[in-house]
Amino acid sequence: MGNQTVYPVVALMSATGMRTQEALGLQWGDIDFENAAIHIQRAVTEEIAWDSHGNKISAKTILGPTKNGSSERKIAVPEGVINLLRQWRETAPLVSKTQFGESDRVFGNSKSPSWTYAGFRSSVNRTLKNSDSGVDSLRLHRLRHTVATMLSNEPDSNVFNIMQLLGHTQIKTAQKYIDNQTKERAEKNRELLGRYLPMVDFVDRKRSIAPKMAPKS
């Protein structure tokens, strides 16, 4: 089941350039199914407690604001992304402890209604090692670079489109994500993504009924 809970998160990130922490922090109320848009306004982060000697005492995952002010954004997404989220909403009860209230996290796993960043990263790499892809690990942040590079090679795209999608305020920052010299590398990344995280059959219509979104209070 690891692949079934990992795939929708990685697929969303590879389609939008969203940070891992932002994807894991999404709530159902952030998804506008009708208008095909996603409001990115929070991210998971780790709160660490230290003793007086600078030693780490404990760490817990909390839901906080996005990386910076510009990171909060509303992005339009292709219908395919909305369909992916609809499929996940339908199959999630079968493979995860995901809940479906407006303030519940979109992505859960088989043990919890939400992911920690470390737990998700470990699950991704474990899925890869157990696959026959020949890839043992994935630097999740590279997905943002891949998305930026692919967009930069589209005829109607420009750096401002990329800035808005990735949540950057500085042109220089966005340009760092664009690998202008090796379009082939971005193409290869996309090909690898499709190879080692193949589409899984999310929907078992004999066993599941898509849960309705909880009404807003």
Task: Report all structural domains of the chain as residue ranges with CATH numbers, in order of start.
Answer: 2-196 (1.10.443.10)
If one counts every other C-beta atom within 10 angstroms of the C-beta of residue 120, the result is 23
pLDDT score, position 82: 92
Residue 76: pLDDT band (50, 70, 90) is: confident
Q: Enumerate the β-bridge partners of residue 197.
A: none
Query: What is the DSSP-derived secondary structure letter of residue 105?
Result: B
Q: How far apart are the first and last CA of the chain?
A: 33
Instruction: Summarize the confidence of residues 14-40 as an average pLDDT.
Output: 91
Query: What was the pLDDT predicted at 56?
Result: 81
Can you tell me the distance from the alpha carbon of 98 to that of 105, in angstroms, rounded to the nearest whole number? 7
C-alpha–C-alpha distance, residues 115 and 112, integer Å: 7
Least confident of 24-28, 77-81, 195-199: 195-199
